[in-house]
Structure 1
Amino acid sequence: MALANVLPTSYEHYTAGGIHVGLNADKPYFTLNERNITIYSGAVHYFRVPKPYWRDRLRKLRAAGLNTVETYVPWNLHEPQPGWFDFGQGGSDMQDLLAVEEFLKIAKEEDLFAIVRPGPFICSEWEFGGLPSWLLREKNIKVRTSDEIFMKYVTRYFNVLLPLLALLQFTRGGPIIAFQVENEYGSTSNPGKFIPDRNYLRQLHRIMTGNGLVELLVTSDSPTLSGTSGTLPGVFLQTANFGGNPKPDFDKLKELQPNRPIMAMEFWTGWFDHWSETHHTRGDEDFYNTYELILKYPASVNMYMFHGGTSFGFMNGANLENSLSDNSGFQPDTTSYDYDSPLSESGDYTLKYVMVKELLEKYNPVKTRIPQTPHQARKISHEPQEIQSHLPFNALLNLSPKLVSQQLVPMENLPINNMSGQSYGYIVYRKRLDIPANSTLTIGGRICDTLIVLINGNMVTKPVSNVNDLNKFGSWRLKNSKLSLGTQNLVGATLDLLVENWGRVNFGYLDQFNQYKGLWQDGVYLNNKQLSDWEIFPLEFKRAWTRSLSGWKAPNKPPIAGPALYKTRLFVNNTLDTYLDMSDWYKGIVIVNDFVLGRYSRIGPQQSLYLPGPFLQQGWNDIIVFEHYIPAKQITFSIKPIYKTRFRNKALQLVDHLLG
């Protein structure tokens, strides 16, 4: 009989004789149910993976030899409006990605323990670090602090979420062995501006334990950079985050909390992409060497990410290149969260996966039954689909809700969505006025985040087709930017200002008053005279609204430059994964069967959008493109992701050979 068949499963090994205690960190090593354990974990975010693929990704993780999966929990998806919660059946546009309880139960079925990081702030290159944008409607709120207003909402959310997770704790027969409190809180330290609020951490601790959480509570930071500023020594186990050279951080952990286990909560397997950058990859040899150093130390480790997945819809986050609060260093993240991790965005194996499997087999002293490596899903490249119809911008606005306001209003303060404002998408500010010849339009302050100007439906701004275009009018990079409106006298003209939210900042000290989207930092001026009395159109691209769109027309030949919707239909017999090749388009979003798949932009690096098979249906499928500038004639497909710079081949033939 093969050895693999006589070995116990991980749960059989750690629960034989019954469950008595959970994960213990009171010795220099972890014990689980009084048996020694080294945690070999990988991050997989359920909200970045189609639900039908959860088991596939988790089984692949276990087949690599890992014993634990780690996931964040995004507050902004689970409470999209104040008091409206969605954990998989709540009716939000993202509900199919939100059944966190089911994800964790599948993890246990696949012989995995779980580490859950419920926040409330999660970073994760996720929109606003997982915080709901409706918090911004509270004028004096101070997020990520013990501020009474902020904690009122945190408490309400946690009082709903945490009882669900409490039922899934290891000592109650579930998979969860640890919870993280907040995330990289030490990184909020900003001398002269912000000092980490220990009372905030104490309040989170009380809420968590008050809701029945009894498993190990941890925090994560760079111990060499933050010391203990982001934790409560003696209350939480501190863990480390880093990309390479683990010894200094591990040695610092030993110094800060002697005789306690050493763990990396985030060993960064790769990195993420910002729009306008070169696609990030990490050398396989560098990854191998660093992972082996961690295992040899020895330390427990969670790979961030093991499988990155996709920030579907408008859920990508952003960074600030500098500490200035004026948004000048804004860096929005791409839709793809491939992360150059051991499993690719579409769940394919990479050479890093083979390395993980090899190293864990070598270093894990506890031998348990490992499942066979699952087959890799087949991809398909469909025939190109010609654009069949389009919906002009004016027709689009005529089908949109309209509000009126004397002054400019940011998305978040619009009186819509049960008074929770607009979270994502676009906002249009319309003004009817006379425009004298040789007029100059000035946008006071900075745009949040990019702007297209139309007069009588005609686009007067230039397309963003390369990185340098972000230094011109219409971008967040310019302050008090000016645009010449031409040499004609226009009487009773319609001025439209279309603003796109590219994602809110997700890292560090969050200056919440810099997170508003739209035009709000100052006024809009024509020849130095401030304009007022606006019509405002929120373009959220919610499923029900997109489904109701009507009035589609045959596409213009040649196409007219400017924002518009373009539609085609795709017939499929088999719902296999594919990629949409958007490299012939300029900038916009793609919607498949009324669901916003994500963003594309010619500036790169991402040039394709992963389209999972479960998002398609047998028969006809609608694909809609909201193109900002100039459309292509067709939608084309690929079996691989496409980047502006050449995608680094991962020696796929070798991978296939090593995986059998």
Structure 2
Amino acid sequence: MVVLRLRHLRRRDHVLLCFTIIGILIYHFMGNPRGTQTVNRRQGLRANSSQFTLGGEGFRILAGSIHYFRVPRAYWKDRMLKLRACGFNTLTTYVPWNLHEPQRGMFVFERELDLEAYISMAASLDLWVILQPGPYISADWDLGGLPSWLLRDEDMKLRSTYPGFIEAVNSFFDQLIPKVLPLQFKRGGPIIAVQVEDEYGSYGQDGNYMDFIKEALLSRGINELLLTSDRYEWIQHGGVTGALRTIKLHKPAPEIIQYLDSAPPNDPQMMMHFLSGWFDFWGSLHHVLAAEDMVGMLRKILRRGMSINIYMFHGGTNFGFMNGGVGAPSYKSQITSYDYDAPVSEGGDYTPKYLLLRDLLSQYHREELPEMPVLQGKAAYEAAVMYQHLSLWEGLRYAEGPFKSVTPIPMENLPLSNGNGQSYGYTLYETVIGNGGVLNSQDNIRDQALVFVDKRFIGRLTYKNRELAVPDGKGQRTLSVLVENCGRVASGESLNEQRKGLIGDILLNNTPLRNFEIYSLDMNPKFMDSLRWAPWELPPYTPSFPAFFLGRLFVDGYPSDTFVKLPGWGKGVVFVNGQNLGRYWSVGPQQALYLPGPWLNSGMNEVIIFEEQEADLKIQFESSPDLGMTADIW
């Protein structure tokens, strides 16, 4: 029984309250008239005819991908409402194992990683959900979502029935799957399908692996429709008995249409990955796909009666160090933004694709689509001046280490984090040398390194630049190699080779260097909070590099989204109020980092920058993004 105190309410409030109570009673006793409460829950999504059925009635999946781990929690609802208003009925999301189990046996499902809250919110907004729990997800995410501590095992074989991998998967699924079981369709929740792994056809060499993953889901209580997803040329290799095979469309090749024409007539066809754009690499251009081309192709797919999932509907951001990379034909690191040229931009704005999609998808609904949510404004703030400075060498006192080792050790194998090693960021290797000569990396640097002699910068080692001249000097000197993990490859055959830092010997005059002291600089919150600052003189004083810089951003009133621009800076990482916004690099294409308003405070905000080589000593906050010059992907 609900007791209401009405004495002090005005007449208008009496009326509003009465209507509210009536609405709640109607919803409770009659169900939500628009969808999720009125279907037959005994029959889930089925694919046993030329079309899907849900609750025994014909159903077309109109889905869009939004990843909760790439969007601030405060904006989950906004992005979902925009998905619904565009004409979609289903949300798809991956589950990143590496975030949910950052250390073996340490599971995180709170705050920004509250998967249950995310799925429940989708249900409250009348959206169905297709869950993609992995364990491997690709997603252009570091190591395809697999935790780096798996690589501590030198014999590890990822995405296989190797006992060490199977044991870790079972442990993760024991925690993950019980959380989503009550959210399945047949139990009254929004999850109508679950994907088994991701694109195994292009990778798989273990004939038993997909059967293992399928049974791992079924044995823990998953009883909704199972899917696999691969490019059309690998779709048979990546499938598994008992799961519907769906297609990933990477570009509109004529062979794909031929494949669709030859598919069995009684199999519902679903395009699980219909790309809205593409991701970007540092040093390249911003990849875009013309709105007319994308929607024109989608129109043809829908006319065939197919179901679709737009990847991405809203891309979001690779906050922190979570961007992935590609390894073939050569290594490239992905940028921080995951805008993806999607219908809803990185900052949540509508694009021409959104408007064209909404017009197209409205034809597949009997009722008018919901109104488009009002956009949130972006703000330009006064520049933040960096007024405190801490050199890398001074900051080492707050880092974990030094760890002593005769030979180099990859970051994943360092003795820290409760035996889980270092996952992300930078690692510093120091040793003593005498005379100079030629330093040769032997391609054992992953992925880039700044090299110093007695704290003086002498050059950079990369995949392409593997040799460096070391100047002569007197007596013993300290050689320092600061190695950055620029992002592990997200897909491909080299997953098992993604250890970072120094992964083998480096040579000075053809002699392997020995006796290292190693510092971990993963720049986690504990490390960043421990930094102690001292005031320093403004120019003409020249700061040393690499270095940490501290400044303040003042926000007058309610905080809005903004974009951090760093003209005059080189390469590094930005932290605002303890949040790692991600990497920046002057080579582009991205020239501004997205800073969500919910991560700002009214009044003063702390800004910390780690810069490798050069600084303008102030940063700007603009109201518009800058993703660089564009290149068409088709």
Q: What is the aligned counterpart of 2:573 among 589, 592, 604?
A: 589
SS in structure 1 at match of 2:183: coil
Across the aligned residues of Structure 1 and Structure 2, the Cα RMSD in angstroms comes to: 2.1
- Give the Cα–Cα distance (whole angstroms) in 1 for the partners of residues 112 and 285 of structure 2: 29
Matches within 5 A, 1:288-303: 288-303=295-310
Q: CA deviation at 1:524?
A: 2.4
CA contact under 8 A between 1:568 and 1:623: conserved in structure 2?
yes
**TM-score scaled to structure 2, two decimals?**
0.91
CA-CA distance at 1:251 after TM superposition: 5.3
| Contact 1:390/1:555 (8 A) holds in 2 | no
1:271 Cα deviation from its structure 2 partner: 0.6
Identity of aligned residues (%): 39
Quick one: distance in 1 between partners of 2:577 and 2:217?
Answer: 39
The one-letter code of the counterpart of 2:610 is F
Whether contact under 8 Å (2:247, 2:273) holds in the other structure is yes
Alignment correspondent of 2:249? 242
Residues of 2 paired with 1:601 and 1:585: CA distance? 8
Cα drift, residue 646 of structure 1:
6.6
**Which position in structure 2 is the counterpart of 1:426?**
426
Gaps of 5+ in 2: 1-22, 24-29
> Is the Cα contact below 8 Å between 2:89 and 2:128 reproduced in 1?
yes
C-alpha separation in 1, matches of 2:525 and 2:81: 32
The residue that corresponds to 2:131 in the other structure is 116
Deviations 1:456-491 (A, max 9, x none): 222122xxxxxxxxxxx511224xx2212224x232
Match for residue 530 of structure 2?
548
Equivalent in the alignment of 1:228: 236
State the match for 1:152 in structure 2.
167
Partner Cα separation in structure 1 for residue 90 and residue 381 of structure 2: 37
Equivalent AA in structure 2 for residue 476 of structure 1: Y
Q: In structure 1, what is the Cα distance between the partners aligned to 2:154 and 2:211?
A: 25
Unmatched 5+ residue regions in structure 1? 89-95, 189-194, 323-328, 462-472, 649-660
- 1:566-606 CA-to-partner distances (Å, cap 9, x unmatched) read 11011213211000002321101111112211000011111
Q: CA deviation at 1:284?
A: 1.3
Aligned residues: 602
Aligned residue identity for 1:140: D
SS at match of 2:286: coil
How far did residue 15 of structure 1 move?
A: 4.2
Distance 1:122 1:519, change over 3 A: same
Q: Distance in 2 between matches of 1:349 and 1:552?
A: 44
Residue 205 (structure 1) aligned with residue 214 (structure 2): yes
Q: Which residue matches 2:388?
A: 389
Letter in 2 for 1:485: V
| Counterpart residue number, 1:575 | 559
Question: Structure 1 residue 520 and structure 2 residue 503: aligned?
Answer: yes
Tell me the TM-score normalised to structure 1 length: 0.88
Cα deviation digits, residues 137-196 of structure 1 (max 9, x gap): 1121211112221111111101110111111001111110001001011111xxxxxx53
Query: Does 2:26 match 1:28?
Result: no
- Secondary structure (helix, strand or coil) at the match of 1:490 reads coil
Q: Distance in 1 between matches of 2:122 and 2:327?
A: 35
Q: Which residue of the partner structure matches residue 275 of structure 1?
A: 282
Q: Measure, in 1, the Cα distance between the counterparts of 2:481 and 2:598.
A: 36
CA shift for structure 1 position 247? 7.1
Letter aligned with residue 151 of structure 2: L
Alignment partner, residue 117 of structure 2: 102
> What secondary structure sits across from 2:237 in the alignment?
coil
Counterpart pick for 1:562 among 540, 545, 562: 545
* Contact 1:196–1:229 (8 Å) recurs in 2: no
Say whether the 8 Å CA contact 2:94–2:137 is kept in structure 1.
Answer: yes
Deviation (angstroms), 1:198: 3.0
- 1:35-86: CA deviation from partner (whole Å, max 9, x where unpaired): 1111000000000000010000000100111000100000000000001000
Aligned residue in 2 for 1:219: 228
Q: Does 1:485 align with 2:485?
A: no
Please state how far the C-alpha of 1:246 moved relative to its aligned partner.
7.4
The 3 A distance-change label for structure 1 pair 276 and 560 is same
Match of 1:640 among 607, 624, 628: 624
Q: Aligned partners of 1:138, 1:184: CA distance in 2, in Å?
A: 24
Alignment-derived partner of residue 26 in structure 2: none
Q: What per-residue deviation string (whole Å, max 9, x for no partner) do you get for residues 212-231 of structure 1?
A: 101000001112x1140001
Q: Is the 8 A contact 2:325 2:331 kept in 1?
A: yes
Q: CA deviation at 1:526?
A: 2.6
> Residue 167 of structure 1: SS of its match in structure 2?
helix
| 1:608 aligned residue | 592
Offset at residue 121 of structure 1 (A):
0.5
Partner of residue 337, structure 2? 336
Question: Measured at CA, do residues 375 and 583 of structure 1 come closer, stay the same or move farther in structure 2, by a change above 3 Å?
Answer: same
Shift of 1:561: 5.2
Cα-to-partner distance string for 1:411-445 (whole Å, 9 max, x where unaligned): 000010000010000000011343x3x53322233
For 1:495, the aligned partner's letter is L
Q: Which residue of 1 aligns with 2:92?
A: 70
- Offset at 1:621? 1.1
Q: Structure 2: which amino acid aligns with 1:417?
A: S
Q: Does 1:537 align with 2:536?
A: no
User: Secondary structure of the equivalent of 1:535?
Assistant: strand
Is residue 76 of structure 2 the alignment partner of residue 54 of structure 1?
A: yes
One of 450, 458, 461 as aligned partner of 1:474: 461
The aligned residue for residue 92 of structure 1 is none
Paired residue type of 2:420: S
Offset, 1:511? 3.9
Q: Is the 8 A contact 1:264 1:301 kept in 2?
A: yes
* In structure 2, distance between residues paired with 1:348 and 1:490: 60
